[in-house]
Every structure is written in C-alpha cells, then in structure tokens.
C-alpha cells in the first residue's frame, strides 16, 4: 500500500507542476496580448524648419495625439551637431498595433490637424522624411 500511496503522490505532484506551468504560460500570453505598443518616430526636417515643427507639436500635435488615443511618452532632439537642427525623435504608445493604425487614420483626417498643418506650412514644407517603427518592451526592460 505504501508503494501505491507514493505512486499517487508522485502523480499529484506532477499534475500540480504541469498545471502551474500551463497556468503561468496562459497568463503570460494574456499579458503579451494586452501589452502596450510603443512607436518610435523620427522626423527629418528641411533646413531651418525644426523650430516650426517644435511649435506645431507644442501648440497642436501633442493634444491631437491624445485626442485620438495616443499617449505622448517622450520627445528628443539629437546632440549630434549634424542632426540637432534637423531631427525630432519621439515615442508615443498605443493599446495595440490595430489601435495605432486607427489612431493615425483618425488623426490624419482630423480637421483641426489639417488646419494646424496647413498654417504651420504657410512658409514652406517642414518635414522631408518620417521613419516609424512599432515596438514592444522586452522581458528585461525596466518599463513595461
């Protein structure tokens, strides 16, 4: 009988370990599905136009991003002398890649954005090129 009890205890322990593994995996998968998506955007301005871009962002763009579901995370200009007067780098975050697409579509068609963009470009085009990449935090990232 002792042998049967040990065998039964072994099966129960293995089942508990397997259940913990599967529960942890499932919870981890759910976390990934609900994880915020960060978007790194780099704007390359035409010479002499970075100030106009900064003004447009501070006066209009940040508020419009929030209006359309984007969270403003951080904004930078490079310290590299060749880029510091030409480049704006920033990160916004979204609930998902689909939310990012929906937010950008709504933002681009917003009459307030179109008005702000057109007014800021009365002296000429500002942005020459935009680069964008969607990202998720790694498991070892301090911010998740």
* pLDDT tens, residue by residue, 51-83: 999 999 999 999 999 999 999 999 999 999 999
Q: What pLDDT is attached to residue 47?
A: 98
| Number of separate domains in the chain | 2
**Considering the domain boundaries, does residue 142 fall inside one?**
no
Q: What is the pLDDT of residues 99-126, one digit of tens each?
A: 999 999 999 999 999 999 999 999 999 9
52 and 76 share one domain: yes
Is the pLDDT confidence value at 18 over 50? no
41 and 18 share one domain: no
Domain around 78: 37-135
22 and 70 share one domain: no
47 and 23 share one domain: no
| pTM (global) more than 0.85 | no
Is the pLDDT confidence value at 43 over 90? yes
3-state SS track over 74-137? EEECCCCCCCCCCEEEEEEEECCHHHHHHHHHHHHHCHHHHHHHHHHCCCCCCEEEEEEEEECC
**Considering the domain boundaries, does residue 119 fall inside one?**
yes
Q: Residue 102 is part of a domain; what is its CATH number? A: 3.30.70.100
Q: Mean pLDDT lowest for which of 7-16, 23-32, 57-66?
A: 23-32
């Amino acid at each position: 009988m002792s042998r049967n009890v040990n065998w039964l205890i072994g099966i129960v322990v293995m089942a508990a370990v397997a259940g913990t593994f599967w529960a942890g995996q499932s919870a981890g998968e759910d976390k990934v599905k609900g994880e915020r998506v960060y978007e790194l955007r780099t704007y390359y301005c035409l010479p002499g136009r970075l100030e106009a871009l900064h003004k447009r962002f501070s006066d209009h763009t940040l508020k419009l991003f929030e209006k359309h579901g984007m969270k403003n995370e951080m904004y930078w200009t490079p310290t590299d002398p060749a880029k510091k007067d030409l480049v704006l780098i920033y990160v916004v975050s979204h609930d998902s890649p689909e939310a990012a697409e929906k937010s950008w579509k709504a933002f681009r068609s917003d009459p307030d954005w179109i008005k702000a963009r057109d007014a800021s470009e009365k002296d000429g085009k500002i942005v020459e090129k935009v680069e964008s990449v969607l990202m998720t935090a790694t498991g070892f990232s301090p911010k998740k």
